[in-house]
Structures are given as structure tokens and as C-alpha cells.
Amino acid sequence: MRIPFFLISIFLFFTLTIKSQSIDSIKVPQRIYTTKKLTKTPVIDGYVKDNEGWNAVEWSSDFTEKDPDEGTSPAYQTMFKVMYDSKYLYIAIRAFDDEPELIQQRLSRRDGFQGDRVNVIIDSYHDKRTAFVFTTTAAGVKGEEFASQNGDNWDDSWNPIWYTNAKVDDKGWTAEMKIPFSQLRFGKAKEQIWGFNVNRTIFRLQERSLWQRIPNNQAGFISEAGELHGLRDLVPQKQLEIQPFTVLQYDKYPAETGNPYRDGSDFKLNAGLDAKIGITNDLTLDLTVNPDFGQVEADPGAIALDGFQIFFREQRPFFVENSNIFDYEFANGSDNLFYSRRIGRNPHRTANLAAGEFADEPQNSRILGAAKFSGKTRDGWSIGVLESVTGNEFAEIRQTDGSTREEIVEPLTNYFVTRIQKDFNERNSFIGGIFTATNRHLDGNFNELHKAAYSGGIDFQHNWKNREYYIDGNVIFSHVLGSKEAITATQQTLRHNFQRTDAIHVSVDLNKTSLTGTGGRFEMGKNGGGNWRYNGGIIWRSPELELNDVGFLRRTDEIIQFGNLTHLWQIPTETYRNIRARFEQSTFYDFGGNLNRLRFEFNGEISWINNWWTEGGYGISTNFYDNFYLRGGPRFRRPNTAFAYLFFGSDRSKLFSFTLGYSNRHTQENVVGRDRFVIRTNYQPTDALSMSLNIEYANLYDRTQYVNEKSFGSNARYILGRIQNKTLTTTLRLNYSFTPDISLQFYGQPFISKGRFSDLNRVINPTANTIDDRIAVYDNNQQSFVKPLNESSINFDVNGDGDLTDSFSSGGFLIDENTDGRLDYVVRNPDFSFVQLQTNLVARWEYIPGSELFLVWSRGSVGSADVNNDLIDSVSDQVFRAPANDTFLVKFTYRFRR
């Protein structure tokens, strides 16, 4: 019955949607702006009307509204001019506004994108998929983005050197831009033809208008731009930028008695170099030597109750910039062949210490050097190559006699990634590939690590009928090599679980020294034209797939069929601006042929006429089994689950805006329940000051939270318990901008997650229909709880042979399962109360374009609160009473540019 249901769902999904059309595609003539060479260089001061240099060309106007009422005339028109000389592109903007006193001149840091603004979109590759975007706000704040995936991905990490200014006058506001050709990428030609568009946002009206109209039902954004002509005899400008930096750092922390490495303070002096070299005008080489990331925010607090690794976004500038070129998301979520956080990761080992010894252990692997070679050629080749080396890391150990020794905790490792794509079929199609390699110099040590790990893949996409329809997909492989110990450990990790007791399609092979797996995705659907969108496809990850040496992979052994159907209401009415409704369906199998889950969800979003918005959804999961829940144990049945969520928010253009949200998850037989509340606020009392406060509170209970695995005779016991888990996260951000180039930012996040366990139970029939048949709760005759006095430890003689095998400072549950009066096994007390505080105060001054001075103060602490305390008291203690680590640093950079 499984296969017919699968085929019937696919058949019904497409037959019910293929004929549904209510709005025909609109053919919009492509606009062309022809520029000229300047005769007099304008001064970039924002005063367009006072600059005679702009008289060489004519204004272009006739913008069309994009949002909220696509295809109509905007509230106020916009005009622009474009000129050039041998080194620069010059752009002038006149944004009319009959109420100039209402123009939003909000100051922010670079890339703040607040207030009234204009975006100039330049597809200098003319590949109709990527573009360089330059933004100027009415306050003169600059911003830049690199748009890829035909406008589906916007990366604001790109920071070129260019010049801009803006002024408000009685007719509205004006802006001027001066963009070096060295910051753009284009090929050789007598006359350049670039994709070109200008987008204007009137912030108080939440209105967007475009020079080149792009109807809402049109698939794609970059591909539908107008064209810029008249750029003749341009000589490609090879980029050369060198940016050395110096960092002074002082750390202050609580001293540890007797530990010479933790005496209360440290001082460090560091220096390094970043460079950007234009090999050709299309391709750039980025270099970094001994990079410093001291001004980067710390990762947010998180607890993983399911045991899987948590994905954290990359924040380090060298790896963030141009990250879209190396991106290879092959399935869904965060699964990717390249996860740059692996480079410079924390060491795999900690020091082995004898009694009375202390260690100075590195927190991260030092990146000795890294290089990126990336860009896109005029004939459609997108190329990215990354090479990075992290050094041997040693812990210095102070011995009891005062002498020191070193112990290696991380081996020398080389990381290599290359990514390539080729456009063809008039830029409607592409095919590409990726290859990654991780090689470690183990030198007879580190038998637990892979000696080498390789992955690769091929991806493609084809669009047709004016890009309304598409098919895309990818296929990947992985191959890891290492000792028998390393490959055995890989097979037994949570994401593989080859040791599952009931699995017939996987098993642990103790003699393997390599592992090879595959994965991929195929998808096709309709992405534009009319009001209907749909897609369907399949995703798979074989049990042997392994990517986590330089990629990110949460789980394997999964085949997912999915289908989605979306309807859009795109014409505003007196009530709403637009509506989106979506139905999602998916089916999950493993490679043993087991049906593990059926999932259905309906969700929608409404943008109201007053700029408020609402989104919500409801879904169910049935026939729900989890191969990983018992962490090496048998397949476990989860109860049928329903979930719902509702969020709404106010007009984001107002000085004060908010979001309120609630989500709920509940199951049959009341096995699991979770309530989550979200409050987000933004307030800008002045143009220079903005603040945001986000609060999230979640309350979870689960009668079957995994605790541990124990042996009882020749059998395994999978111990679960009822958890009451409460989590509170508060994030405060304050930003004060003195000028567009001088700013002060504060970030603070206290985080607490508290879990209390009760009703310990064991699994008796993991796939039974009811919860009472799946588990057996220990009664009072089978368990007792003991807790040490005065925070000492308790030692337990489980085997009755005088060997004190378990020592628990937090106490534990003594289990006499067969009630024969003898201790059978001990379960460590699983209660926890994790509290973390992170703050960051950064003063930034971009004293000349591309060169910056940072003053940073960071304060952080991690602790364990009393599980009996409430959340607010625990957070208060951590913020105001717990000892913390303070870091003060000064970072100075100077960008030399040719």
C-alpha cells in the first residue's frame, strides 16, 4: 500500500494544479538607458542640481510601482542619470517628494538599509542571474549587496570601496554615486551591455518602484532588468587591495587558585593581513594571513535535546564574503557540502591531566592562512577555489614539579573547496559541480579522526517558457578514509546509527577503513506566471553519507518525497495588499523501505493594506517513526503530532513596530506538548538611535525524552523520562550612529534553559501503537533517588564487587528493575539548568573608505543555576552576580588600494 499512496499523491498533486491559471503572464518591453562619457567630473556631495558635470546626459524616469500596487504609478516619481570615465561609473538620483519633512533619514551602520533609499542594480556580468547592488539612503548611509540565484539570495557581506552622498531639499532628496570599475566584474568588449535597474523605497508608505517594471507574477528578478548601453572602450581595472590589521587584546577573568594559566588576566598582541588581488577583471584572489575575528559576535545560546549538532551561521568576514559562490545546499535545511565553520574549529581533544596538573588549552584551531580565488567570466563560467590550512595545536601542561610539557590536541589540517558553474541556453540553464577535500597530518596519532575526507557533486537547473517552469537537482557523493577505529566511530555516530539493533540494511563493520555514500535532490515545478505555483521532488541521503569534516549533515538514511502548492492574491484591495496560501505534503522513508512519516501542512501570509501582516499555519505528522531517537537503539514510534502557529506584526515603517507570535505542538495521548511565545520590538526614537528587544519563551514537556542507555544482564535498557523544559532567551540590541561612518553598537543576550525530569521509564516495545505499550514507568519499588550532601560526590558499586564504577556529584536514580533487593543500574540525575550571558559593545569608525578602527568590549559567562529556581531569578543571578570573563580589544585596519 505504501508505493501506490506515494504515486497517487504525486498524480493528484500535479493534475489538480496544472490547469489552474487566473492571470496571464504580462509581456513588458525592456527599457534601455544609453550613457555617455562625462565632460566634467562631478563632485560627489549629494547636490545634483549644483553639479554642471551631470549635464552631459539626460534624465530617465517613468518608474512603475512594484509594491504594494504593482503596475501603477508611484506616489512620487524618480529620475536618474548615468555617466562614466576611464575609471568610474557616476550615477545621479532625483527622488521627488511633496512632503520632504516626512522623508525618513534614519542613520545606521553600513548596510543598515533603514529609511528612504535607492538601490542601483548592476548586472555587469550580464548573466541574468547575479548583480552588484549599491544602496544610498536619504541620510547618506551606504550599503552593498551581491544578488545571486536570480534575486533569491542577497548577500550584504560584500564591502567594496565606492563613494556616495545624499541631501534632502524642498523637492525631495538627491543622491550621487561614484563606483570604481575595479569593484565590478565584466569582460572585454568594444561596448559593454549590462543589466540595469533602479529601485526606490518610500519608507513611510512602504512603497517600492522600479525603473524597469517587473510584474509580480514574473519568475526571476535579475533576469528581467533593463539594460545599460553606451559604455565604450572600457579598460578592465584589475583590483589590488591590501589590508593589514593590528589587534591589542586584554582579557580579564576570575582567577583559579593554583592554576598558573588562569591568574586573572592576559594581554595579547596580534597582527595579520588581508588582501584582494584582481587576477583578471573577472576573477579575484582573496588572501588572509593569521586572520582575527575578535569583533565578531558570539554564537547565541542553544540546547540540543535531540542530540544532533546545532547549526550556527558563519559570521567571520573572510568566509562570509562571496560565500554564495561556494554554497552547495544539496537537500533542505542546513545540509551543505561546505560549512566554513569547520575551518578554525575547536580542537578535537582536550589535554590528559594527572592530579595536580594544569593546562593552557587553545580554544580554536589557528588559521595559518587562507586563500579564495573566485569570480565569474563573461562567457558564463562561475569559479570558486578556497584553500586553507590550520596548524598543529598544542596544550601546554604545567606539571606538579613546575616543569612544562606539550600535548597535541589538533593536527595540522588542509581544507580545499572548488566550485564551478557554467551558464548556457541564453542564461536559462546552468550545470555545475563542487569538490571538497580535507586532509589531516595525523603522524601516527589521532586514530579517532579521518585521515582524509572527500565530497563532490553535480548540480543543474533548466528554466523555460520565460522562466515560469523549471527543473533542477543535484547528486553528491562522499568518501572518508581513516583507521578502523575512526571509521567504526563514524558508523556509530548519531547521524548514522549503524549499530541499530533492529536494522537489517545497515550494520557496523569493524574492519572498514573507508566509507562511501551518496545523496541528492531532484525537483521540478512552476515558479512564475499566473497566481499558481507548485513543485515536487525527491531528496535522499544514503546511510553511508558523511560530510562533517568540512560540510554540515544532521542525519542520513532518509528518502523524502515532497510536493508544494501555492496560490497568490497579488492585486491589492481595500483590505489587503497581497495574500499567499500554501499546502505542503511530504513522505519520509529509510533505505530499509520503512515508511517513517507522513506530513501535511497548510500555511499562509497576509499583508494588510495598513502595512500590518499576519502569518499562520497548521500541520500534522502521522505514521511517525524515528530511527535515531534511541541513539543506537531500535526504531521508535512517536505519537501522531499536530502543530499550529500564528504571528502578526505592525507596520515596520513606524518609529515603533512589533511582532507577536505563538506556536503550539501537541500529540495523541498527551505524550508531548510545547508552547512557544515570541515578542519582538523595534524602536527608533531618533534618526541616530535604534533599539530592538526580542524575547522568546518556550515550555516543553515530553513523557519520552531520551536519558541514557544501560545494560541489564545481556539486554540493553533504553531509559526515558518525562521532562519539563523551560527556555528563555532575551536579546537586546542598541545602535547609535553619530554619522554614517561612526557608530556604537551594543548586543546583549542572557539565555537559560532548565530541564527537570520525573517518571523515569524504559522502552519495552518501541513500535507499539500506544504509549503505555511502548514504555514502562519505574514504580517506587524499582527506583530511589539519592543526592550527595554539601555538593560532594556519591560513588556507586553497581556490580557488587567493590568497584565504584559511577561517581555523580548531582546524584542519581538507583534502579532495582526486578525488585530483588539488589542494585541493577544507576542513572545519573539528568536535571539541568544552563545559563549563559553574552554581551558585546562595539565602537566602529570607518575613517576612510575601507579602513576601520574598532573598539570592543565583550563580557560573557556560563553557569549552572539551581534547577529549583525560577527562570528570572537564574538569569538575574547570572547577569548581576556570577563572575564573568571580560575582553577589551582595539583593532586597526588600513586598506591600501591601487
CA–CA dist 527, 463 (Å, integer): 9
Give me the pLDDT at residue 316, please: 77
For 357, how many CA atoms within 13 A lie in the half-sphere containing its CB?
Answer: 18
pLDDT at 807 exceeding the cut of 60: no
Give me the pLDDT at residue 593, please: 94
Give me the pLDDT at residue 864, please: 84
CA–CA dist 277, 290 (Å, integer): 18
Give the three-class secondary structure for 874: helix
Range with the poorest average pLDDT among 135-139, 375-379, 400-404, 435-439: 375-379
Q: How confident is the model at residue 297 (pLDDT cuts 50, 70, 90)?
A: low
CA–CA dist 516, 841 (Å, integer): 46
Give me the pLDDT at residue 795, please: 54
Give mean pLDDT, residues 159-176.
93
Enumerate domains of the chain plus CATH numbers.
31-232 (2.60.40.1190)
Q: Which of 366, 448, 237 is nearest to 897 (CA)?
A: 237
Handedness of CA 206, 211, 215, 218 (dihedral sign): negative
pLDDT at 605 exceeding the cut of 90: yes
Q: Which of 766, 782, 426 is nearest to 629 (CA)?
A: 766
Give mean pLDDT, residues 760-777.
96
pLDDT at 304 exceeding the cut of 80: no
How many helices and strands (H and E) does the chain possess? 6, 50
Give me the pLDDT at residue 25, please: 57
pLDDT at 22 exceeding the cut of 50: no
CA–CA dist 157, 154 (Å, integer): 9
pLDDT tens digits for range 514-527: 999 999 999 999 99
pLDDT tens digits for range 816-825: 999 999 999 9
Give me the pLDDT at residue 796, please: 52
Residue 507, number of CB atoms within 10 A of its CB: 10
Q: How confident is the model at residue 6 (pLDDT cuts 50, 70, 90)?
A: very low
Residue, of 113 and 630, whose pLDDT is higher: 630
Range with the poorest average pLDDT among 77-86, 341-350, 359-368, 878-887: 878-887
CA–CA dist 402, 399 (Å, integer): 5
CA angle 726, 731, 735 (to 5 degrees): 175
pLDDT at 383 exceeding the cut of 50: yes
Give me the pLDDT at residue 824, please: 92
Provide the β-strand partners of residue 709.
718
Distances (CA, A) of 884 to 254, 285, 874: 7, 41, 15
In order, the DSSP letters of 577-629 are EEEEEEEEEEEEE-TTS-EEEEEEEEEEEEEETTS-EEEEEEEEEES-EESST
Range with the poorest average pLDDT among 299-313, 426-440, 844-858: 299-313
CA–CA dist 825, 817 (Å, integer): 8
CA angle 649, 650, 654 (to 5 degrees): 145
pLDDT at 896 exceeding the cut of 90: no
Q: Are strands 896-897 and 794-796 parallel, antiparallel or unpaired?
A: unpaired
Residues 6 or more apart whose CB falls under 8 angstroms from that of 847 comprise 741, 853
All three cell numbers of 357, joined, read 596538573
What mean pLDDT, rounded, does the chain reach? 89
Give me the pLDDT at residue 882, please: 81
DSSP letter at 182 equals G
pLDDT at 563 exceeding the cut of 80: yes
In one-letter notation, the amino acid at residue 479 is: H
Q: Which of 396, 356, 354, 355 is nearest to 257 (CA)?
A: 356
pLDDT at 682 exceeding the cut of 80: yes
CA–CA dist 6, 537 (Å, integer): 12
DSSP letter at 329 equals B
* Percent above pLDDT 70 for the chain: 93
Distances (CA, A) of 883 to 54, 586, 730, 860, 863: 61, 49, 20, 9, 9
Residue, of 23 and 833, whose pLDDT is higher: 833
For 115, how many CA atoms within 13 A lie in the half-sphere containing its CB?
Answer: 30
Give me the pLDDT at residue 281, please: 72
pLDDT tens digits for range 421-451: 999 888 889 999 999 999 999 988 899 999 9
Q: Which of 653, 609, 630 is nearest to 497 (CA)?
A: 630
Give me the pLDDT at residue 800, please: 43
C-alpha torsion angle, residues 716, 718, 719, 720 (rounded to 10): -170
Provide the β-strand partners of residue 699.
675, 726
CA–CA dist 750, 159 (Å, integer): 31
Give me the pLDDT at residue 790, please: 52
Instruction: Specify burial of residue 220 (Cβ count, 10 A radius: 0-12, 13-18, 19+).
Output: buried
CA–CA dist 321, 275 (Å, integer): 13
Give me the pLDDT at residue 299, please: 65
Residues 6 or more apart whose CB falls under 8 angstroms from that of 502 comprise 634, 635, 766
Give me the pLDDT at residue 315, please: 72
Give the three-class secondary structure for 4: helix
Q: Taking the model in full, what pTM does it have?
A: 0.87
Do 408 and 442 meet the contact criterion of CB atoms below 8 Å apart? Answer: no
Give mean pLDDT, residues 253-274.
90
Q: How confident is the model at residue 15 (pLDDT cuts 50, 70, 90)?
A: very low
Give the ranges where 40-121 is alpha helix by DSSP (H).
none
Give me the pLDDT at residue 20, please: 39
Residue 190, number of CB atoms within 10 A of its CB: 8
Most confident of 291-295, 302-306, 418-422: 418-422
In one-letter notation, the amino acid at residue 263 is: D
